[in-house]
Structure 1
């Protein structure tokens, strides 16, 4: 440990002492020792330790963004050496900077202000409110990527934004169905700045409600597996149960932290949005067991403690990886969540579901309409 962090000096530099305390304070030292010997992240940390005074987020951003870089950053943040920052926002801004740098000038001219003054500025506002998620970062990157591909397609048609007409736009939309919706933000932005002809539209069908559901017997059988099958991994049981009981998306589940769990009046409560919901005793025991056996990397005293931590220190789980893991164990997510939402709407008005589970009120209303109920039904009852 001292050899790694001292960088060849006689003692560990003062800026790195908090990290030494975190690593030596691990309950089980053997995984830490194995990590020090074999991990590429440990080797990277050793190289960075030779210049501790230059160790900051910008220095790490300049490195290739590999797993080792993310892991070292997480360690330094949890140890308090680097300040906390919104990593989802940082992922967006760093990706955008690298992407924009590789564009030809005639593409960079419209894409740069669209990315920096429209997409990233809105992301900063959402981040300031604490609402910029990993899924939001992926969506914003996809919108910028769609704009770049749209301009590249215009080149193949020997067209510019100023030449763009509705017929050509229809051709683009028909030939690129997966990019059609993602192209709309850029088209609106370009039209508002008079870079294109006014009145251009991309026909996009309204959001369709899902058609994948589970029959009640299958849904209940999978829930019983999650709560009672000890052969399943603990994280799979917890995530699967939360999906089937409360219709929570995985993007919300991976954001749950230990401080969202509390006990009162002999019950265990989980606060997803603003109001706590009581947990079934079996699920409460699974969550308590998960928090007790949490094998995530060592963390500083102020580091965020996620219910289902990711591999990198201080980072939440990747929802896409968690989805694949649930599917691998025979617990599909989409159909189960759709079925759970329909069951919830049979017992609760959409306003209550929105408050309890953190679902956007408009989304809850649309689900209620799909289920044959409306806000007006609840108002009439009241």
Structure 2
């Protein structure tokens, strides 16, 4: 039995209960104010000291508030002191004003204060606030650690302290500089030249219309690592780009048959270095279907009937029904969804919303009830003001015994068989080319039919495609026993 350490609620309480009552102010059932409910009322329920006629013991010595009480001060006053120490008085500089307003707007000031005191890179923000470091992106680039640096950059952009930039493109530029610095001089020259005039040039052109995606940055890194391996292989075989014979190139390609970057690199090498060899681009096709529709339906039913939190089930169901990638699910915002009295609609591509099936709409309504008032993410993470990581959603999906990639591909094939590539792109958020590949591979023939696009008809088609799946699950035709671990 825990040892009692304090007197509350008409008796002695243990340290765990004492701390919970003291740290979490709640609405008093009598006066309605958020106070520390440390006393018992006439009805035997917990009430504040004022309503119980007892002396007040837990008010903040500075402002009198009992919310987020720690020691002798409330959470808001403690956070204000920490902000003054880190960035100076609120009115001292525009930088300090922006940071004060940002952190003071959080629902629980204790989380913001813990971040200020716990993370080492907050000292960089202090140096920027007091003029010891310039307030620019170059200073943020000096912070070690990719995720930590990214968080500080997003924080300063959100506070309008730094101008907005394309995060993925900027991070890729930094990575290329660091990557080339570790290579031999002859390899670094080729890699940096190709990265600058082919990869970055293409991404900058694309960034004029939309931000660079994480997958694009990952593909660029994979390409440059593959080029380094190719250059090392040429050194081992005493050949160069200029003297590379066709048989030697084909020998290398036979050892790495799935390197899709090679044709574009060889085209560039022919133009920039006089390479005589050539490589034919491989025809791109979507992944093959690895599970049956019965298995996918069984997983969907298991998700809907599971006893886990609604948010966990909602994230998994969005992947199984719409084929949305885990990365994109983790970054969804509540504003992506439109709630009316009779349905919930999700917007996965600009100007096009798709209705959620009844069970998913119910999960969404239950999930948003528990979201913090100041939260901007549909699936908030453990870190302050950050969304959940894709790895966490992947862990949730492992409960159902089938790889999430297989479930997503199966969902996309099912939708591709029901609609045209244009509608598939609008419904799932896929690019037009990828949607066309799925429709062609599904054998539905939609790409060959010149359909006059009617938004109302298209919406009905999406409803039917998703509704068929929901009806099949509710009909009890597909038990979970159909799932087979690979």
TM-score, reference length from structure 1: 0.84
Change (3 A) 1:7 1:96: farther
Alpha-carbon deviations, 1:60-100, whole Å to 9, x = none? 11232344333322322222222222111111111112122
Quote the residue 1:334 is aligned against: 405
Are residues 1:379 and 2:450 paired?
A: yes
Q: How does 1:295-314 map to 2 (within 5 A)?
A: 305-309=376-380
Alignment partners' CA distance in 1, 2:422 and 2:87: 61
Change (3 A) 1:107 1:346: closer
Contact kept, 8 Å, 2:416 with 2:439, in 1: the verdict is yes
Change (3 A) 1:110 1:313: farther
Alpha-carbon deviations, 1:131-178, whole Å to 9, x = none? 421111111121122222221221122221111111111222223345
Quote the residue 2:295 is aligned against: 218
Quote the residue 1:73 is aligned against: 153
User: Structure 1 residues 41-50 or 262-271, which shifts more?
Assistant: 41-50
Are residues 1:110 and 2:187 paired?
A: no
Quote the residue 1:158 is aligned against: 238
Alpha-carbon deviations, 1:183-242, whole Å to 9, x = none? 332222111334311x5215x6534543343333332222123334232572x3222111
Quote the residue 2:358 is aligned against: 281
Question: How many equivalent residue pairs?
Answer: 372
Q: How does 1:354-369 map to 2 (within 5 A)?
A: 354-369=425-440
Change (3 A) 1:310 1:190: farther
Are residues 1:189 and 2:260 paired?
A: no
Q: Select the structure that is richer in helix.
A: 1
Partner of residue 126 from structure 1, selected from 206, 217, 233: 206
Q: How does 1:35-74 map to 2 (within 5 A)?
A: 35-42=115-122, 44-46=124-126, 48-51=128-131, 54-74=134-154
Quote the residue 2:325 is aligned against: 249
Quote the residue 2:346 is aligned against: 270
Contact kept, 8 Å, 1:74 with 1:313, in 2: the verdict is no
Alpha-carbon deviations, 1:78-126, whole Å to 9, x = none? 2222222211111111111212233332223222221112111111122
TM-score, reference length from structure 2: 0.67
Alignment partners' CA distance in 2, 1:34 and 1:127: 36
Contact kept, 8 Å, 1:40 with 1:68, in 2: the verdict is no
Structure 2: gaps spanning 5 or more residues:
1-78, 454-486
Structure 1 residue 373, shift from structure 2 partner? 1.7
Q: Secondary structure at the match of 1:340?
A: helix
Alignment partners' CA distance in 2, 1:153 and 1:216: 44
Alignment partners' CA distance in 2, 1:354 and 1:324: 27
Alignment partners' CA distance in 2, 1:95 and 1:379: 45
Alignment partners' CA distance in 2, 1:97 and 1:219: 44
Q: How does 1:188-207 map to 2 (within 5 A)?
A: 188-197=267-276, 199-201=277-279, 205-207=282-284
Change (3 A) 1:5 1:223: same
Alignment partners' CA distance in 2, 1:23 and 1:36: 10
Contact kept, 8 Å, 2:421 with 2:447, in 1: the verdict is no
Quote the residue 2:89 is aligned against: 11
Contact kept, 8 Å, 1:16 with 1:52, in 2: the verdict is no
Change (3 A) 1:265 1:24: closer
Contact kept, 8 Å, 1:254 with 1:308, in 2: the verdict is yes
Structure 1 residue 315, shift from structure 2 partner? 6.1
Alignment partners' CA distance in 2, 1:244 and 1:227: 11
Alignment partners' CA distance in 2, 1:380 and 1:90: 41
Change (3 A) 1:254 1:228: same
Contact kept, 8 Å, 1:226 with 1:241, in 2: the verdict is yes
Partner of residue 170 from structure 1, selected from 241, 244, 250: 250
Contact kept, 8 Å, 1:354 with 1:364, in 2: the verdict is yes
Change (3 A) 1:40 1:53: closer
Structure showing greater radius of gyration is 2
Are residues 1:136 and 2:213 paired?
A: no
Q: Secondary structure at the match of 1:272?
A: strand
Quote the residue 2:73 is aligned against: none
Taking CA–CA contacts closer than 8 Å with sequence separation of 6 or more, which of the two structures ends up with the larger relative contact order?
A: 1
Quote the residue 1:302 is aligned against: none
Structure 1: gaps spanning 5 or more residues:
300-304
Alignment partners' CA distance in 1, 2:420 and 2:344: 24
Contact kept, 8 Å, 1:246 with 1:340, in 2: the verdict is yes
Alignment partners' CA distance in 1, 2:389 and 2:264: 26
